[in-house]
Amino acid sequence: MTTQAKVKPSFEAIAWRAMRYSGILLIPLAWFHVYLQDVIVGVHAIDIDYVALRLDMVAWVVYDMALLAFAFAHGMYGLRQVSFEFIHGERARRNVSLLILGLWLVVSLIGAVALIGGARPELISH
Amino acid sequence: MASSVSPIKTTAAGYVGYQGREGHYAFLLHRLTGLGTLLFLLIHILDTSTVYFFPALYEHAIALYRSTPFMLGEIGLVFAVVYHGVNGLRIAVTDLWMPKRWAIQTQRKAVWTTLVISVILWAPAALWMLYNMLLHNHGINILPFIGTH
Ligand code: HEM
């Protein structure tokens, strides 16, 4: 029998689990997205009217929002982990973490605003 | 950091020089596909956001994605997302529910299994994307029994 002291899990330990659970979630979420848009529909059939049609449906906005939240957070946290293998100083690690956090927040916000706002093909003057 | 050894050089040398066979190659490929997909995702979030912020720019972005070099990149991207997912599932399931299976012999086989599954899932998609690329960009139909659509 092993006895384990109960300690409050650290941020790194929670993130370690989150990487694994979010990864499992991303299999249906990311694969379906990529196969649908890039393989079945294909880039030659995608234009702004197609995007507008899609983002008029609440279900797709919710789906894309989940993808944006989980895939980008998973990837940016992974980037932090990789960078920590090259950067060992405490201050440097803090700076890199803040940089990645900032980039993640800004790009996520841009993506979220666009998803909620939807496509605006009516603004294109021909 | 008081060390005189550069951690960047040490880490990079370890990636290249470590002779860990299957497990090491899977680690490198997982990392490469993860970072590659992330780079694509970052660009993709920003270019898709133009539909709201600068709608006139979107058609330029999509024209770029339709070009042959980009379509070849997309075929590679599909492999990256598929392989990273299959291999990530191996890591997640073993870590969370069967850590006893972290034995080198077991994992050597599992690494090959992930590669085979990835290629099986990727190949039909790759063929279809190649068909579309050659048809739309070069007027070549490599699947004549399907016709043009
Ligand atoms: C398709 C489903 C996915 C699964 C099952 C998955 C699984 C995983 C797992 C388990 C790890 C942790 C490795 C570790 O901590 O040792 C990881 C790392 C990572 N993932 Fe994913 N992931 C998926 C999708 C994605 C996507 C869409 C991206 C891109 C945005 C991504 C980017 C990364 C990066 C950059 C890392 C860090 C690489 C490393 O530690 O070597 N992943 N993934």
Chain B environment of A26 (Cβ under 8 Å): 85, 88
Question: A75-80 contacts: CB < 8 A, separation 24 or more?
Answer: A75/B34, A75/B37, A75/B38, A75/B41, A76/A100, A76/A103, A76/A104, A76/B38, A77/A15, A77/A18, A77/A19, A78/A19, A78/B34, A78/B35, A78/B38, A79/B35, A79/B38
Fold topology of B21-138: 3 helical TM bundles of succinate and fumarate reductases (1.20.1300)
What's the confidence (pLDDT) of residue A126? 67
pLDDT greater than 70 at residue A99? yes
Q: What is the mean pLDDT of residues B1-20?
A: 81
pLDDT at A3 over 80: no
Query: Roughly what angle, to the nearest 10 degrees, separates helices A90-117 and B21-53?
Result: 50
Choose the closest CB to A48 out of B46, B49, B51: B51
DSSP state of A123: G
- Tens digits of per-residue pLDDT, A35-89? 999 999 999 999 999 999 999 999 999 999 999 999 999 999 999 999 999 999 9
Residues of chain B above pLDDT 90, percent: 85
Structure tokens belonging to residue A85: 């293998």
* Claim: this prediction has a pTM higher than 0.90: yes
pLDDT band at B114; cut points 50, 70, 90: very high
Mean pLDDT, to the nearest integer, of B84-109? 95
- Residue B1 has what pLDDT? 47
Q: What percent of chain A is modeled with pLDDT above 90?
A: 90
Mean pLDDT over each residue of chain B, to the nearest integer: 94
Determine the straight-line distance between the first and last CA of chain B, rounded to whole angstroms: 62
b/e B21-51 (16+ beta carbons within 10 angstroms → b): ebeeebbebbbebbbbbbebbbebbebbbbb
Cα B19–chain centre separation:
23
Q: Could you tell me what percent of chain A has a pLDDT over 70?
A: 96
pLDDT (mean) for A17-35:
98
What residues does each domain of chain B span? 21-138
> Sign of dihedral through CA atoms B23, B25, B29, B35?
positive
Ligand 1 pocket test target in B15, B38, B84 with most atoms within 8 Å of CB? B84
Residue A35: which of B45, B50, B125 has the nearest Cβ? B125
Residue identified by tokens 């379509």 is B71
Length reported for chain A = 126
